[in-house]
Structure 1
Amino acid sequence: MVADAIRAALLTLIGLNLSAATSTSTGDTQAVMTIPAVTENQTWTVSLSQDWDVLGPFPIHAREQHFLSPSFPLKLTDPIDLNATWPSSYADGGSVGWTKAQSLDDVIEVSYPSVRWAALRATEGWAALQHHSVLRSVITVYPPSNPSNQETSIPRLLVDLDQGSFFTLLPPSDNKDDKFVPEWHAGNIYALGRAPPNAVSLPYPPSTDSPTTYEIVVSGDYEIRLFGDPRFDLGSEVPKTSIILTVDIQDTVPAVVRVDSHAVVSDFVDGWAFGNAVGVGLRSLDGWWTVTGASVSANLAEIFEVSLLQKTRIAPTQTRIIPITLTQRAPLRHDSIELTLTVESQDTVSEVRIAIPVEHYAQWSADDVPAAGIKASFFYGTSMPASFIVIPPREPTNAPQPPILALHGAGLDALKEHRLSWVEALPRQRHSWVILPAGRTEWGLDWHGPSTREAWNTVEALSDILGAREEWRSWSFAPDTRVLLMGHSNGGQGAWYVGGRYPDRIVGVVPAAGYIKSQAYVPWVQSRSAHYIDPALRALLDSSLTPDDNDLFLSNLADTPILAIHGGDDENVPVWHTRELVATLKTWNPHANVTYREDSGEHHWYEGLFLNDAVKTFVASILSGEGATAAPSSRSYTLTVAVPSDSGSLHGWSVHSLSIPGRLGRLGVDIEPGGISVRTTNIKAFSIRLGSLPEDVKNVPFLVDGQSVELDEASWDQPDFFLALAQEQGVWSPYPLFDVQSVPPTGRILNVLSSAGPITIVIPSQSPSAQLSAGLRIAHNLDVYHKLDADIITEDEAATRMRDGSLASANIVVLARGELGAFSRSILEEARTPFKISGTSLKLRGRLLNGPSMATLFLHPHPTNANSLVLFAYGADMSGFERAVRLFPIRTGVTVPDWIVVGRQADERGTGGVHGAGVWGNNWSWNEAMSAF
């Protein structure tokens, strides 16, 4: 992404209006605050030097910086020696030293023209271009010039780091000792829009009568997916890292401000809301605030009413989207919705008045539809307001056709900046809706995890919206309808992913320019960690990526109609990815209904990619049912599963649990006139809906791994009868289906992001400042990267909620440093996993986890909800605690399975500093085959 594009993206970031009783607007909302007035920069000021010291480049693979110290190879407890050199295999002579760079308009560009990149690339390809740099500069904080007006509170900094991975502030050198532990904040490495700034507490109080200088250290990591191929983008062999950094002051004055970019509201069709979910973004400048009420202005009271979905508490500096339900009685003709929110702190009750602009459209018709589609709203995960775009069909039909679910590429803002262009790129259908989910954010989780869940939720939400009004019901469809998947680039990969995990919900797939998986996009051959880690342990870590490896799940698509597209000269995703996916698919089924279209000479995106006769014909054929048969095209097929809870059925067959979680499970089915034969690999429990079997198969022998399973003849006459089988000691026996469906989504810590509601972050009740900072950083990252909400509470409050039954049923993250609190103890004392409490520390398999700088993360069953998770992030000391926070998996490609123990050697050896890791067995048991400790 070039610097101009990054600067343009910054213009979409939030504006903070801190004036009391003053109407303001930045394009999304208008707000009037009836809380104490405060003006930023009225007192303290800050400046960021344009001069930068740069150290690098060092080989690194994508996401490896989450294990390595972000300041690698530096130890920030030591003084920084600008004359020192460090080993690097990228430099002639094998070592690198510090160089100089200057920022221009807040952009720091880092490149190393003396490195022979072409020679490195000749043998290592794109992998050779990925590298790590350390950037260092200074920030100066100035006290008020007029001492009589001096504020007593210490200011915070508002830091926006785009295209950088991490940053930290260091205290003045004469106030830093060897016990200092840097507090790393994640940057907005994807330059995502609608990202609030990091609110950063100064590591040492500034002087009130003279300037105070702090060092700022940035981890700059060049990734091909972010910056592209320099040959194509820059016409150069030299990769260039472009980082944008801005710093401002936020005084710590208790106040709540609105966040324009976080507003969520639907469009209105003939005056009626296309979705009842409304979201208002609020940020606390300081103090704890609770939103306790919502109402509409008097002139709108007869049109609709609003209500809080739930009371929402905002931690100091936290940004949250307040969920509001809209109940409409009459058409709206106003250009905005005027709301009043009641917010309370410990000693203050205030009101926030907001006007949210809305778009109005007439009822769609065959010839008239909004050029940029219609924006709908819904509650993701039961309570998080979210939006998506739809393109209505030209005509209703008595027999609804499957909708198209279209997944956008990485970096594409489908709701705002790129909304029109993405809608225009997709073919409007005669009888089918086209649904364009946001994927949580422009990158989301590569259409995995919460992004997949949101995509399916938009289909259900549109069904509900259309069914809510008589005028729209003739255009509706069933909420569990099958869909045709389309996608481009990351969305093309997402189409392979979603189709491969939920084959029975798919009528066809049109993936364009999709990559196979992250490890294939840019190989990990330049991994620093690989030089130190036991290959067996590395395999366990890599198993956390197995659920994302699309090529492993192509057996599930062997009977699905597919039109795979790729530009022959794609500069972004090499064309061999789609060729290889198609070839692998045909290995599973040589007669697979897959067509490969390679458009010679075309790049990654080109005009008419989806708007051509071949795509239109394929799509029309599939949606009408003419291109797909009701029965599978073959009677021999294989269902592949990695995480049963994240997988759907294939031709009615479902896998519910694995014999060894963490390894692939496969269910091979052969259907012959004389019987059904099932072959299992690593399967513990599965089921088949008998009505899904071919009509000519009834009352035939049923063999599972050579064992005959007897079926009551009456069962064959019940199409919705599920035969569930479970294996114990090599014997397959019928099993109650409900007993095998409650398998938690284990396999990797990343699953904590797939939460049914706002994630609850639990911090200690005693001296919680450091853990509150960590909780706020995790909540900030959840917002920036996924627009996932988080509720921060103390251990005491969590224990109270658990006792009175009000503990949220969604996923929980428990942060602990040193001694574990009462809530943590109450959960761990149940001994539901092999982790135990020993004194004030943790113990695993008889070994104390209290070594210097040691971090432990592990999933644990939720105390009250069998389908939710608890993630413990424990540090034996402050250094270990910070390490645990950095390993919280915000991005794809971070290899963290169900549990992991990491030591201080990770700072310079990456995963070579992992002491142990593994995947839980069934019922959260120790899984010897998938554990190393």
Structure 2
Amino acid sequence: MSHLQHKETFLDSESGTNWRITLSNDWDVLGPFPIHAREQHFLSPSYPLNLSEPIDFSEKWPSAYADGGEVAWGTAQSQNGTLKVSYPHIRWASLRSTEGWAALQHHNVLRTSITVYPPSESTGSTEPPHLLIDLQQGSFFALRPSDTGGPLTDYIPQWHAGNIYTIDSASPHTVSLPVSPSATEATVYDLFVSGDYEIRLFGDPTVTGSDVPTLTITFDVEIEEPLSSVLEAESHHVLPDFIDNWAFGEAVGVGLRSSGGWWTVDDIVLTSSDSKSFKLRLLENTRIAPGQTRIVPLTVDQQDRFTEESIELEVHLTSSSGSKTAIQITLKPRQVSQWDTGSNEYQTFIATYFYATSTPTAFVTVPPKQTGPDGTKSPLLFLHGAGVNVLTTPSWGCEVPRQLQSWIVLPTGRTSWGLDWHGPSTEDAWLSVAALSTILESHSLWSSWGFSKDARVLLLGHSNGGQGAWYLAERYPDRILAVAPAAAYIKSQAYVPFVQSRSAHFIDPTLRAILETSITPDDDDLFVTNLVDTPVLAIHGGADENVPTWHSRSLVDTLKTWDRRASVTFKEDPGEPHCYSAAFGNDQVQAFIDQNINQHELPLDRGSLSSFTLTVAVPGESGSLHGFKVLKLTTPGRLARLSVYTDTRGVHITPRNVAIFSLDIKAITRLQGQLLFIDGHLAERAVRRDTLVFARDGSGTWKIFIKVETTLDVSIQPSGRISRILSSNGPLLFVIPDEDNQYYAHAAIRLAHDLDVFHKLSAEILNDAEASKRLEKGTLGTGNIVTIGNSGNVFTKRILSHGSTHFKLSNGSLTFHDKSIAKDVSSAFLHPHPVSTSSLLLVLYSDDKGGTEKLLRLFPIRTGVTVPDWIMIGQKADSIGAAGVEGAGVWGNDWSWNEGMSFI
């Protein structure tokens, strides 16, 4: 069949350029193709098409879902920018009868057209415009010159990540047209979208009475004037509540977006008040790239009440060319009275702090009804479900009720989805609790309501937050009093299994195993050993339509398998759905909270302990259990377990895959051990130390690290998977080559955009010369770094010259183990940071733009993308996914070669 003559919707430009665009309402649709939940990050988003070739709309393509094994092009029509795609002729019920939810996962290629009309001869600018594009619930999109029937040999699609989770406050992508439009006639561009159906995004169709899954995406496009200017991004403002006229937190953020040009915020002036008792100060100069949205960090300096209804300020900026401008910003603080101590009402207040030293971040608090002579009891840390924005919807129908003497802390997890409460989402949770303690302590009005910054928490969560509650409690058991997860799933691959994976039909099993080590640290069932001594109340609705009830049952089963005496209770509420008010609002849950809340800060105050096992995958993402902590693994990439039991002789420790571990000396006292045995051998005991650090000597004997005083003196294993790059001590720094700056700048801006949308993580973009100059001057900072490009990136070249890993440069080419890597193979690998041992550098190295595009899609924006410490990916990945990976692995200790966890 030939593709349609499209109907069009006119979208007027609001920029005043008189450029106009139309978006076709008619779409060509190809699918469905079986994939697993994150496979589109390895496959080409246009799979099975090659967009550098003309498209034959009469061609059929193999698909295991279709009767006869082939699918053809079809059509669909959007309504007001929303497109729904379904395939009622596919026998979904039959597929589902054997494969379950995994059978619903599928990939589609969607195509329509955008037409750009030039301005009239007498008015408007003839400079090519750029587009503002917002794709909701689609994976990726790309623009292509119109299909003229001939090959597009020079065309490399630049894929932009869609806002697949429909996260609030997301800026649109700024997209340059792939070729300049005609100044005299209409120019047509093809728009391609990777549409991927996921059960987590779209739900189970049987809930609405259908067997047929329906993909729903929303697409919006506007023209923006291509002028160098900066705009207010009101959706990105961060502001604390003012309680009785006092700021509930020191962090304020102003959202700004560059519509063109490179800008640096270098000063702010408060214009709303001449009062010397309330000031806002610029925390640090903030650079904004073209099309980038950033939150400018301001800190509050308040000496007296601030009673005004608005904060007027002027933001001063300087462009890369030296020109200056100023933007007037009005912030509207919420002025509220201090909490009501006699009400059961679910009162919420927004507090702020600086995440990663300089990123203004808000969280929600629910105050207790009363305080005691020593302040309040330990706080409740509540983790919300996927898609819940606690800043705008702090009460959503299945939250925990206000408590008598405990604060409830509701962190954002960075955004409404975050990283499934892993990585930066975990850090945000802990930092929000500490920030509230600091805020309460900072002011006499609130100090009597405070709690210790080191107080343990009672952890709760619902849905994705229920999974997150299992995750945090297992990784940081000594920081937890008790945990009550509700409607939790076990892990991503249990939620939507990988059984329909395309890659699985081609991949070497060893390679698959090594790739999947990058999601092992997220598998909650593997780490329940760490909770055998923690009170657990698992909650689940018996008729949950979103997360199957068996997930909680299975986690409880696994925990009891480790220890039949484990303090775990399963509360299944018959007939209840995924979210219901009685999930936490009932006597049993409240009794559980009341029984376990206290102010004890020592990690070793639970009953008489006789045995336990600490399980760790990535030491940098794990805390201690009863004072025992794993600092380094013998073989990174594999699980480490530290088993401890006591008898009449003393304390016996059996390390498995553990290179270095520490223990709090109070743990030995609490366990009443007179002697310490490691691997059956009597171990030495150091006196006058609170912490003992053990490592094997050359003969394999466990010895105390005499040269260290505390665990802070030991360099904890830094890597384990590429997603570690997201856990940064400051804004991420993207370093691009000076040559061909425009393409690499756009690549970095796309990643910075994704970091903002998915995680509200701050990023700065520098060219290689400036990054090298900062390194020489000692002003590079300790934030994680991402370099993009090849040997033409001077900063990358300088970093690799140190020979810190097995990736090196030789005669302008990348080598691995001193062997040249083929030009059509692209590499991403973690590398030591040039300044800080606690920070990381990620190299994205490719000799061509097509390879760079593959690496950009593997950047760890979402959970479940299986990328370990290093990976080399070839062209075949476009059609066979992860099977097109040429090499992958996990670094050994001190960035050494790790034979057992490497594949080439």
- Fold shared by both chains (TM-score > 0.5): yes
Q: Which amino acid aligns with 1:404?
A: L
Q: Which amino acid aligns with 1:635?
A: S
1:661 to 1:282, Cα distance in 2 relative to 1, 3 A: same
Question: Can you list the C-alpha shifts for 1:220-261, whole angstroms capped at 9, x where unaligned?
Answer: 0000000010001x3100000000001110111111000011
- Report how far residue 303 of structure 1 moved: 3.5
> Within 5 A, what are the aligned runs for 1:48-87?
48-87=23-62
Percentage of identical aligned residues:
50
2:330 counterpart of 1:359: no
- Report how far residue 98 of structure 1 moved: 0.2
Question: Can you list the C-alpha shifts for 1:321-345, whole angstroms capped at 9, x where unaligned?
Answer: 0000010121111112111111111
Corresponding residue to 2:379 among 403, 414, 426? 403
Check the 8 A contact 2:262/2:287 in 1, yes or no.
Answer: yes
Q: The residue matched to 1:420 in structure 2 has which SS?
A: coil
Question: Can you list the C-alpha shifts for 1:684-716, whole angstroms capped at 9, x where unaligned?
Answer: 000111112344625x2211112221224x44x
Counterpart of 2:484?
A: 510
Question: Can you list the C-alpha shifts for 1:298-329, whole angstroms capped at 9, x where unaligned?
Answer: 52533411111100010111100000001012
Q: Which amino acid aligns with 1:497?
A: Y
> Within 5 A, what are the aligned runs for 1:62-211?
62-144=37-119, 146-174=120-148, 177-211=152-186
Check the 8 A contact 1:504/1:650 in 2, yes or no.
Answer: yes
1:783 to 1:878, Cα distance in 2 relative to 1, 3 A: same
Counterpart of 2:9?
A: none
1 CA distance for matches of 2:889 and 2:163?
Answer: 30
Unaligned runs of 5+ in 2: 1-11
Check the 8 A contact 1:841/1:850 in 2, yes or no.
Answer: no
Counterpart of 1:415?
A: 391
Q: The residue matched to 1:350 in structure 2 has which SS?
A: strand
Once the two structures are overlaid, the 10-residue window that deviates more, 105-114 or 702-711, is 702-711
> Within 5 A, what are the aligned runs for 1:311-390?
311-345=285-319, 346-368=321-343, 371-390=346-365
Q: Which amino acid aligns with 2:890?
A: V
Q: Which amino acid aligns with 2:285?
A: K
1:779 to 1:729, Cα distance in 2 relative to 1, 3 A: farther
2:438 counterpart of 1:471: no
Corresponding residue to 2:831 among 846, 860, 880? 860
Counterpart of 2:774?
A: 801
1 CA distance for matches of 2:617 and 2:607?
Answer: 23
Check the 8 A contact 1:849/1:876 in 2, yes or no.
Answer: no
> Within 5 A, what are the aligned runs for 1:665-680?
665-680=640-655
Counterpart of 1:810?
A: 783
Counterpart of 1:450?
A: 424
2 CA distance for matches of 1:210 and 1:155?
Answer: 15
1:242 to 1:275, Cα distance in 2 relative to 1, 3 A: same
Once the two structures are overlaid, the 10-residue window that deviates more, 478-487 or 393-402, is 393-402
Question: Can you list the C-alpha shifts for 1:875-902, whole angstroms capped at 9, x where unaligned?
Answer: 1211111111111110000000000000
Question: Can you list the C-alpha shifts for 1:99-145, whole angstroms capped at 9, x where unaligned?
Answer: 0100001101000000000000000000000000000010000111x
2:765 counterpart of 1:792: yes
Check the 8 A contact 1:77/1:178 in 2, yes or no.
Answer: yes
Counterpart of 2:399?
A: 425
Counterpart of 2:794?
A: 822
Q: Which amino acid aligns with 1:866?
A: T
> Within 5 A, what are the aligned runs for 1:679-828?
679-695=654-670, 697=672, 700-712=674-686, 714-715=687-688, 720-726=690-696, 728-735=698-705, 736=708, 737-738=710-711, 741-817=714-790, 819-828=791-800
2 CA distance for matches of 1:739 and 1:685?
Answer: 13
1 CA distance for matches of 2:765 and 2:621?
Answer: 27
2:894 counterpart of 1:920: no
Q: The residue matched to 1:355 in structure 2 has which SS?
A: strand
2:231 counterpart of 1:260: no
Question: Can you list the C-alpha shifts for 1:429-482, whole angstroms capped at 9, x where unaligned?
Answer: 121110000000010000000000000000110011011111211111111210
Once the two structures are overlaid, the 10-residue window that deviates more, 484-493 or 425-434, is 425-434
Question: Can you list the C-alpha shifts for 1:573-615, whole angstroms capped at 9, x where unaligned?
Answer: 0000000000100111111111110000111011221110111
Q: The residue matched to 1:655 in structure 2 has which SS?
A: strand
1:878 to 1:629, Cα distance in 2 relative to 1, 3 A: closer
- Report how far residue 347 of structure 1 moved: 3.5
1:728 to 1:361, Cα distance in 2 relative to 1, 3 A: farther
1:875 to 1:369, Cα distance in 2 relative to 1, 3 A: farther
The TM-score, its normalising length taken from structure 1, stands at: 0.93
Counterpart of 1:609?
A: 583
Q: The residue matched to 2:230 in structure 1 has which SS?
A: strand
Check the 8 A contact 2:691/2:711 in 1, yes or no.
Answer: no
1:369 to 1:806, Cα distance in 2 relative to 1, 3 A: farther
Counterpart of 2:618?
A: 643
Counterpart of 2:805?
A: 833
Q: The residue matched to 2:446 in structure 1 has which SS?
A: helix
Question: Can you list the C-alpha shifts for 1:496-526, whole angstroms capped at 9, x where unaligned?
Answer: 0000000000000010000000000011000
Corresponding residue to 1:544 among 518, 536, 542? 518
Question: Can you list the C-alpha shifts for 1:130-182, whole angstroms capped at 9, x where unaligned?
Answer: 000000010000111x2122313210011100000000000133486223111
Corresponding residue to 1:235 among 201, 204, 209? 209
Counterpart of 2:551?
A: 577
Check the 8 A contact 2:55/2:147 in 1, yes or no.
Answer: no
Counterpart of 2:271?
A: 297
1:706 to 1:88, Cα distance in 2 relative to 1, 3 A: same
Check the 8 A contact 2:528/2:559 in 1, yes or no.
Answer: yes
2:7 counterpart of 1:40: no
The TM-score, its normalising length taken from structure 2, stands at: 0.96
Question: Can you list the C-alpha shifts for 1:542-566, whole angstroms capped at 9, x where unaligned?
Answer: 0000110001110001100011100
- Report how far residue 756 of structure 1 moved: 1.4
Once the two structures are overlaid, the 10-residue window that deviates more, 332-341 or 404-413, is 332-341
- Report how far residue 744 of structure 1 moved: 4.3
Check the 8 A contact 2:732/2:763 in 1, yes or no.
Answer: yes
2 CA distance for matches of 1:459 and 1:919?
Answer: 33
Check the 8 A contact 1:163/1:187 in 2, yes or no.
Answer: yes
Check the 8 A contact 2:238/2:254 in 1, yes or no.
Answer: yes
Check the 8 A contact 2:386/2:463 in 1, yes or no.
Answer: yes
Question: Can you list the C-alpha shifts for 1:614-644, whole angstroms capped at 9, x where unaligned?
Answer: 1111101111479x99234531000000011
Counterpart of 2:882?
A: 911
Q: The residue matched to 2:880 in structure 1 has which SS?
A: helix
Once the two structures are overlaid, the 10-residue window that deviates more, 878-887 or 901-910, is 878-887
Once the two structures are overlaid, the 10-residue window that deviates more, 790-799 or 766-775, is 766-775
Q: Which amino acid aligns with 2:40?
A: Q
Q: Which amino acid aligns with 1:409?
A: G
Q: Which amino acid aligns with 1:678?
A: I
2 CA distance for matches of 1:707 and 1:221?
Answer: 56
1:255 to 1:442, Cα distance in 2 relative to 1, 3 A: same
Q: How many residues align?
A: 886
1:309 to 1:62, Cα distance in 2 relative to 1, 3 A: same
Counterpart of 1:33?
A: none
> What is the root-mean-square deviation of aligned Cα atoms in Å?
1.8
Q: Which amino acid aligns with 2:700?
A: G
Q: The residue matched to 1:555 in structure 2 has which SS?
A: helix
Corresponding residue to 1:842 among 814, 818, 824? 814
> Within 5 A, what are the aligned runs for 1:866-877?
866-877=837-848
1:722 to 1:471, Cα distance in 2 relative to 1, 3 A: farther
